[in-house]
Amino acid sequence: MADSGVAALHRSILEWYSVHARPLPWRDPSCSPWGVLLSEVMAQQTPLARVEPAWREWIDRWPTPADLAAASPADVVRAWGRLGYPRRALRLREAAIAIVDRHGGDVPRDQGELKALPGIGDYTAAAVAAFAFGDRSVVVDTNVRRVEARVVTGVEHAAPSLTRAEVELAAALVPEDDKDAATWNVAVMELGALVCTARAPRCAECPVRERCAWNVGGRPAYDGPPRRGQKWHGTDRQVRGIIVQTLRDSLDPVARADLASGRDAAQVDRCLAGLIEDGLVEPVGAERFSLPGHDQDDAVEEVAG
């Protein structure tokens, strides 16, 4: 894409964002870098409608990394609620401890130092650098990949997993100015979330519809590798979630027989073993289980299987 085309793309999307951006609390200029980091971890594979109330609860309860670092693992997992992938809650606590130990309680600005924190990968480090500190970085999430695949490449969907070509394209499109770059990153994400959606995109409302290669080309159907939806019912992921939620709802350790009631015993044992390995569940005695850090007098024994 020629420089003039990129400049026009920037102008159109940034102007659209200035009007249509959702007023999310972590986008407020007064939000701390810690609040931004929390939002980015919580929003991974989770709709923002579910993230915002949980984020408000966390930021009220643990407004600094030091506050979360001092919390018990069980309290952290309980507070995670139904955000999904609860191991993220423990990793956030581990990141908070590292921030306190390594950086005096302040979220680091350097992307290398951010990536060195537990549970923080390339995407989250780039997002925190951009949205917490206003630094130029390349933020590539599912929405960004889809928007840029359609607008520039002319295909309906991005590749099944992130490619080097997608990263290079995203990097080439980021404005040089730090402030514009940070706004551009969130603006493209917002466009993908609200207009250039995976299903039923609202092309008539798109600010770059006349420059979008996919739209101008007649919106050709996707002909890449098969896109398989994820099953949920009956999967280990569902059973793991049921186990963790059951333990969240109980003040006392729960017997294995209650966790396995009505379910395949082998699957429950497999899920329990995985949850224990992930640090989300602790065995209490021989046949009872609790969230990590639960106060207990009984000896801890390993779960078979």
Catalytic positions, written as ranges: 40
Residue 102: which residues within 8 A CB-CB, separation 6 or more?
108, 113
Q: DSSP label at 304? A: P
Beta strands in the chain (DSSP E): 254-255, 282-284, 288-290
* CB distance 79 to 89 below 8 Å: yes
Q: d(Cα 184, Cα 25) in Å, to the nearest integer?
A: 18
- Residue 82 — φ and ψ, nearest 5°? -110, 35
Integer angstrom CA distances of residue 231 from 59, 256, 272:
33, 26, 20
Q: d(Cα 58, Cα 252) in Å, to the nearest integer?
A: 24
Q: DSSP label at 231? A: P
